[in-house]
Amino acid sequence: MSNTRIEPRTLPGFMELLPEKQQIFEKIKSVLEEVYRLYGFAPLDTPVLEYSEILLAKAGGETEKQIYRFNKGDTDLTMRFDLTVPLAKYVAQHAPDLTFPFRRYQIGKVYRGERAQRGRFREFYQADIDIVGDGKLSIYYDAEIPSIIYQILTRLGIGEFVIRINNRKVLGGFFDMMGAKERTTDILRTVDKIDKMGREKVVEELKEQGLSKDACDRIIDFVGFRGSNEEVMAKLEGLSGQNEQFDAGVSELKSVLSAVRAFGVPEDHFSIDLSIARGLDYYTGTVYETTLIRHPEIGSICSGGRYDNLAGYYTNRSLPGVGMSIGLTRLFFILNDMNYLSDAYRAPEDVLIIPMTQEITDAISLSSKLREEGIRTQIYLEEGKFKAKMHYADRLAVPFVLFLGEDEIRENALSLKDMQTGNQVKCTISEAIVEIRKKIAESEKQTPVHM
């Protein structure tokens, strides 16, 4: 053992939680998994490390700067910076063995060497789903994504949110009508910044891109239009018949909207928002963002869209798809920071057994019986004073403590203490199980987020 100790510390930008918070994080993750599975998505797990050549096939300057890339022997390696590029590689590589539409979810850590600042993470979880078709993919799959977002956020306890839906063809077609066909991507990028920069600056930037004052105004009025879903659709249909791309987008949007309703998403939880573009070349049709109504400043917590071709860098097979991603680490950080996390899930067990005798065989048998009933049971095996044992129970925040002393063993009973109420009763094992189960059922009804 060396005499100079090394100060134990974690890298900045790497989230490491205390046990109570980790419990809640796991609960949130499990809600996502549960919903993804309910919709028949298959789990996928790809390596954290890949050949740099593979991960960086598409990447541009910003990505290159932010990645963790290094050599091991002769091999140029990169840590994955998202779950989309690995999916593209996976589908291209394994296409003959996959069944299309291929539906996968993946919840995993990704790495970006961003400038460290509060709430920005260099290692963070993404939770992605994608539906990938072979050559084609029905537009109705685009409606499944908002339904999944709705289920997840509702089950988490995030009640007040709106899923904003748009279609890149609608935007692109409209810009084409405004005489800015070639610059669709630039305009989309500029328009995407309207919330951050304000109208004035966006107009200026658009003018620099060669648009007339009139076209700028019409574009900004268009993307700024607010109204019910019916009103927006009416406005769009009023503009139809002038541009093929526009009309195709409007028709897609209409199909998506009707199917989103069929999926049971309440009307006040989704809205067509013509200002949504997602600042990426990648998307080609439907796009989504999800905003917390009371916290629009956070930005989108759940985004995605439709793309024409997932894996063009790896295969000539046409693989259109639709998907979305949740930045789980960031979302958790925000919810925790704003005190929206519930305490309901913080204890790692339902019961702590405290043996009150030297001989612990009976207490151990009792712990096995409870576990057979699916009750998460810890048995405290340290010797020591009663006060120390109760202090341990208090700090664990365990809902129940079971005492097993000589009296209890003789009477084939136990003492059950409800740590929340302080009530303590002597009862049989079966009675205790009923009590404990009642409380577990209650806490399972609680959402991990209270908002």
Return the beta strands (E) in 39-122 as ranges: 42-43, 49-51, 69-72, 75-79, 102-111
Nearest CB to its own copies, comparing residues 227 and 386: 386
User: Mapping DSSP to helix (H, G, I), strand (E, B) and coil, where does residue 349 land?
Assistant: coil
What is each CA distance from 167 to 76, 278, 359, 417, 422, in whole angstroms? 38, 10, 70, 58, 57
Q: Closer to its own copies at the Cβ: 297 or 359?
A: 359
> Toward its own copies, which CB reaches closer, 143 or 272?
143
**Cα 191 off chain centre by:** 26
Taking the complex as a whole, how short is the minimal distance between the CB of residue 395 and its own copies, in angstroms?
4
Distance CA 121, CA 331 (A): 11
Q: List CB contacts of 7: < 8 A, sequence separation 6 or more.
A: none
Q: Smallest gap, in angstroms, from Cβ of residue 436 to its own copies?
A: 13
For residue 362, the minimal CB distance to its own copies (Å) is 8
Backbone phi, psi, residue 96, to 5°? -60, -25
Q: Give 34 or 237: the residue with its C-beta nearer to its own copies.
A: 34
**Structure tokens belonging to residue 152:** 């997840």
User: Minimum CB separation from its own copies for residue 334, in Å?
Assistant: 18
Residue placing its CB nearer to its own copies in the complex, 137 or 274: 137
Task: Determine how many CB atoms are found less than 10 A away from the CB of residue 413.
Answer: 18
**Short-list 5, 65, 61, 289, CA closest to 166:** 289
The tokens for 432 are: 């205790």
Nearest to residue 176, comparing CAs of 165, 167, 187, 166? 187
Identify which of residues 80 and 203 has a Cβ nearer to its own copies in the complex. Answer: 80
Asked if the peptide bond before residue 355 counts as cis, ω within 30 degrees of 0, the response is: no
CB closer to its own copies out of 12 and 210: 12
At closest approach, how far in Å is the CB of 281 from its own copies? 11
Q: Which is nearer to its own copies, 198 or 374 (CB)?
A: 374
Q: From the CB of 262, what's the least distance to its own copies, in Å?
A: 4
Q: Spell out the SS3 assignment of 33-59.
A: HHHHHHCCCEECCCCCEEEHHHHCCCC
Q: How far is the CB of 347 from its own copies (least distance, A)?
A: 9
CB of 24 to its own copies, least distance (A): 10
| Shortest distance in whole angstroms from residue 243 CB to its own copies | 25
The C-alpha R_g of the chain, in whole angstroms, comes to 27
Cα distances from 229 to residues 150, 253, 413, in angstroms, run 17, 11, 63
Q: Of 22 and 446, which has the nearer Cβ to its own copies?
A: 22
Q: Which residue has the tokens 């704003």?
A: 338
Mapping DSSP to helix (H, G, I), strand (E, B) and coil, where does residue 117 land? coil
At residue 138, the 3 state secondary structure works out as coil
Q: Which is nearer to its own copies, 3 or 196 (CB)?
A: 3
Give the shortest CB-121-to-its own copies separation in angstroms: 10
Residues 236/167, Cβ–Cβ less than 8 Å: no
